[in-house]
Structure 1
Amino acid sequence: MNQITEPNAAARESGAAAPAPFFVRGKLVEGAEVRHKSRDLGVDFVTPAIDLDALVTPRTEPGPLFDVPLDEILDFLVASGEAMKRDEKGYLREAIERISATNVLPRSVIEANVRMSAEYLNKSMLLEYAQQNLGDVKLLDGWVPRVDSAGRRSFTRAFPSRLIHVLPGNSPIVSVQSIALGAMTKGVNLFKMGSSDPFMAVAILRTMSEVDPNHPLPRSMSAVYWRGGDEAVERALYRPQYFDKIVAWGGGDAINNVIKYLGPGFQLVSFDPKTSISMIGREAFGSEAVLDEVATRASSDVGMLNQEACVCSRVLFVEGDRQQVDSFSARLQKKLVERNAMGGKAPPLPRDLAEEIEGLRSMTDDFGVWGAPDGSGLVIRSDEPVDFHPIQKTANVVQVNDLKDALKWVNVATQTVGVYPPARQAELRNGLASGGAQRIVRLGDAGGQSIGAPHDAMYIMHRFVHWIVHEDGLASA
């Protein structure tokens, strides 16, 4: 897996349209009636025609998981994870082949995501996640009693919802995370897969059906594909009589498309477009060894998943003089190139963006440019953030005299902030939070995750359920 430079080329050049079957309420649906193109690469794939009626569980019919104990759900998820590791039917191997044709991620990265997906289904970790999100997991299994300070008695339950998940195509592991959280909250779940990955969710659900085809978990799940914005599908499904919430991941167009369907009784849980940054103090220049370590950590935050994920750093604010910041920029570029041995080069930058960046090379008073726009690793040094979106292993290093000077560029679209040295996190975190940032980590740890921590400024499971209260008057009555 580690020898691949352009790992998806053979799959893309075959010319064949990969079949992308559906999974509808516990059953596989195959067919090739509709032809689609993947968003980023324009690769064809074919799907069955959508049966809209089959995707809807009537509200008069309780969801299959509504009354299944959480412990039983967790045991099934664990068994599914073990089945994914064995992959006896080859569903995941097949998904890897097909995602490699439609997705910009190198095959080795896709394979690593699939391995992590199986490891994600860990009982103790999932239980800890639920506990952190909800405070008391008993709320998922029944009505939890309470008597308040005025003597009023009530019962509260985190009641299952009917959810549509608009999945992103930039990371296959999001499929297993969404399936697991949807299962633990016991809802009815419809997954709209992305065109860059219309395979992973179905492969997972097919594997779960092999564990037990009659289990309520796979029967509570559907995974299909339609082109985002297809009003014939969305006007029919995005209605409160069928679903309670839409869980939307994606870019601005995807989120804006969903918003127009919102109304009373139909809510949005939005993982909207985010960017991440790094903040590096002058302590990085304490020695050559320290500078090398800092550049390595920064390259990890920039280059993971070939900069496809929201957590990937795009702008790095570096405290120091011009010579210091340029030395860091040159070293960062070399570290990004070195990472290619682990995951392969990213695709080259779009031609218009590459030409714009090449034009910056001659503006030596304002910009510094290291590397080439070929996906191997590129660094641009500037006095303020560039006016384009750094992608495909492109890092924008911004020189600042003080890290607090960078706070003016933090906003509600700033997701993760990696800080070096760690001791300076405390002095920056209030300013970062006030500006709108949602997550602060040590430099190099953007890809890590505290179990059950908020994501995009929310507890996900808390948002997935309906919070229902049964009030029963005075306890003494």
Structure 2
Amino acid sequence: MSEHSDFTVSAPFFYRGEVVEGDESIHRSRDLGVSFATPRFAFDKAIPPRTEVPPLLNVPTDEIIDFLVETGQRLVAPDNEHVHDCFDRMASTHILPRSVFENVGKHAVAYLDKRILKAELEQNFPDTRALDRWVPLQDFTGRKAWVRAFAPRLIHVLPGNSPGVAIKSVAQGALVKGINLFKMSSADPFYMVAILRTMAAIDPEHPIVRSMSAAYWRGGDAAVENVIYRPQYFDKIVAWGGGDAINNVVKYIGPGFQLVSFDPKTSISMIGREALVSEETMEAAADRASADLMMLNQEACAASRFQFVEGPQDLVDRFSEKFHRRIAERAALSGDVRPLSSDLKEEVEALMMMDDEYGVWGRSDGKGLVIRSDQPVDFHPINKIGNVVRVDSLDDAVRYVNVATQTIGFYPSDRMADYRDRLSAGGAQRVCPLGEAGPSTFGTPWDGMYPLHRFVNWAVNENGPVDGGTEDNEVYLNA
């Protein structure tokens, strides 16, 4: 063991059923700068040969779903030492309190539900049979073909803000029958391995286990990325994360090597004047808005940053006061008492001195803050900060929507239909009732796409025109 082992947390890797421990490499976590130790990256273990047929290719999707459901049950079992150990280690590297990310991890396991997984497949694929076999098609000229959603080779660049992404990524990688390499984040180089170790404990030889690897390397490390980010090894990068993470992988994209990007997004709220007609409606809207803002303590991409409120300033200020109180209540319950970063604190305190232009509720202490302004502030609200932007009409808020706008929480719901076309034209990808930014309808697009449909490689076997008459065609199409 090296000298680092006494004061650094260890982060093992997982290669297709094999757990690899080691402390040859020392890294620092993204947010807290805490050291953690990993083994060296093993290229021979992480890169399966192209000649290998994907282990999951001929496993029926129903069997894959059953295994994922069992995995979910094991992940929340009280005696799962892999998960408990993971959370112990994550507590030293993650910016969120243990109670928060542990709770998020437990709730995320609900995704591993047979009904949810089937809904994902049914909405992503016009004919889900294409995942299990070659499906016959015939065009109007009589020419026929066989089509398959073929198992891809995927590198998943994971974010560090939510354990839930790890759960979803494992499920999606398995559902498309891919060979998967998960690049873990420096904020969380543990949870993905805990999931895969849980799977291996169920069946170490299962094709899902033999299809999955998880490792950490520093983003931008040319010694690793110049080797593995190549089409002879992988088909696509599925990238989550901030601008630097996405920009880093873009330079590797070329023929045969594609990017599926869940890139940086900003979510907002649009609150109509109907919310301000009484104390009761203000309280209800403020509570819903605070729920959207406090998603993962405002670390999630769907967490609202800006709240556009329609109405006169005196009523908007009353709403802002109630909104701040609700945020502070949720913040206190979460146990997250992080102070603002020094740069963000300076930005906020400068605004607090400009009473004639801004209204401010709360302090720059990370316990909840609301800033009221006539246009969005020029910094990124995070760590429980809401920016209430007063507008005369919600029409005025539409101009702030762009291709980076992911989720819009809208109040009242019966006005959504009047705005959804304009919001979508501006670039917004999702409009939902205020307070419902967290849950989403199962199987719907995310970040403007059906992800599973994008993950697979669509393969075609052309077979020429059908011989014979109508009867032969019917036999073919019913094959």
SS across alignment from 2:219 = coil
Aligned with residue 414 of structure 1, among 383, 405, 410: 405
Partner of 1:79 in structure 2? 70
Q: Aligned AA for 2:51?
A: T
Q: CA deviation at 1:155?
A: 1.4
2:269 aligned with 1:278, yes or no?
yes
- The match for 1:352 is 343
Distance 1:30 1:15 in 2: 15
Structure 1: distance between partners of 2:207 and 2:298: 37
Residue 154 of structure 2 is aligned to residue 158 of structure 1 = no
Shift of 1:347: 1.7
Letter in 2 for 1:131: E
User: 3-state SS of the aligned residue for 2:294?
Assistant: helix
Give the structure 2 partner of residue 5 of structure 1.
none
C-alpha displacement of 1:249: 0.4
Q: Distance in 2 between matches of 1:383 and 1:128?
A: 42
Say yes or no: does 1:435 pair with 2:398: no
SS in 1 for 2:320: helix
Secondary structure of the residue aligned to 1:158 is strand
Runs of at least 4 residues off by over 3 Å: none
Percent identity, aligned pairs only? 57
* Alignment partner, residue 462 of structure 2: 471
Counterpart among 186, 209, 217 of residue 226 in structure 1: 217
1:325-380 deviations in Å (ceiling 9; x for gaps): 11111111110010024312352111222122112122222111111121111111
Aligned residue among 191, 202, 208 for 1:211: 202
State the match for 1:25 in structure 2: 16
CA distance in 1, matches of 2:62, 2:37: 38
Say whether residues 1:317 and 2:311 are aligned partners.
no
Alpha-carbon deviation of 1:135? 2.1
Q: Deviations over 1:82-112 (max 9, x none)?
A: 1112253411111112222111112121111
The answer to whether the 8 Å contact 1:346/1:375 transfers is: yes
Instruction: Pick from 216, 241, 248 the counterpart of residue 257 of structure 1.
Output: 248
Question: For residue 368 of structure 1, what is the amino acid of its counterpart?
Answer: G
1:266 maps to 257
Unaligned runs of 5+ in 1: 1-13
Question: SS state of the match for residue 268, structure 1?
Answer: strand
Question: Is the CA contact 1:104–1:346 (under 8 Å) kept in the aligned structure 2?
Answer: no
CA contact (8 A) 2:159 2:241 kept: yes
Choose the corresponding residue for 1:424, options 407, 410, 415: 415
CA RMSD of aligned residues (A): 1.3
2:406 maps to a residue whose letter is Q
1:97 corresponds to 2:88:
yes
Q: Does 1:193 align with 2:184?
A: yes
Q: d(CA) in 1 for partners of 2:448 and 2:417?
A: 18
Match for residue 298 of structure 1 among 271, 285, 289:
289
Give the number of equivalent residue pairs: 464
User: CA contact under 8 A between 1:346 and 1:392: conserved in structure 2?
Assistant: no
> Which piece of structure 1 moves more, 402-411 or 361-370?
361-370
Q: Deviations over 1:179-235 (max 9, x none)?
A: 000001001000000000000000000000000011110110000000100000000
Q: Which of 342, 346, 352 in structure 2 is aligned with 1:361?
A: 352
Report Cα offsets for 1:252-294 as digits up to 9, x if no partner: 1110100011111000000110000000000001211111010
3-state secondary structure, aligned to 1:339: helix
Q: Which amino acid aligns with 2:267?
A: S
Contact 1:57 1:63 in 2 (8 A): no
- For residues 432 and 150 of structure 1, the distance between their equivalents in structure 2, rounded to whole angstroms, comes to 41
Counterpart code for 2:386:
A
> Take 1:123 and 1:403, find their aligned partners in 2: how far apart are those partners?
40
Paired letter, 1:213: P
Contact kept? 1:22, 1:224, Cα under 8 Å: yes
Identify the residue that residue 36 of structure 1 maps to in structure 2.
27
SS in 2 for 1:425: helix
> CA contact under 8 A between 1:278 and 1:417: conserved in structure 2?
yes
- TM-score normalised per structure 2: 0.95
Give the distance between the partners of 2:181 and 2:145, measured in 1 at CA. 32
